Amino acid sequence: MKQLVPALFVVGAIMALTGAAVFITGWIYAPYIYTIGAGLFALAQVNTPVKGKGKTLKRLRIQQIFGALALILTGAFMFTTRGNEWIACLTVAAILELYTAFRIPQEEEKERA
């Protein structure tokens, strides 16, 4: 399991990035690649343990899971909408993921000290 989660992160991130970048060209398989990659990324994030029990850390963890679900929702928007609405959802997900990626390690370090 220790090796599986990082592998899911890497494969999922590469697939999601490739699918989002290639979607602009109109390639028919791009939404499938993105959605599978986002699913793998979200699966890896949900299975990553959190080191700590504080309120702030729990809140950040919920935000991180919400960001992962927003990544999957972006894939659904790629299939159902004809415009670029999926870009707005992807932006929200990316901001949440970026914020929690920096804040969770900070809070874990505070709890250790």
pLDDT score of 76 = 96
| pTM (2 d.p.) | 0.91
Residue 64 CA to residue 94 CA, distance in Å, equals 10
**pLDDT of 113 strictly over 90:** no
How confident is the model over 41-78, as pLDDT tens digits? 999 999 988 888 889 999 999 999 999 999 999 999 99
Indicate the residue type of 38. Answer: A
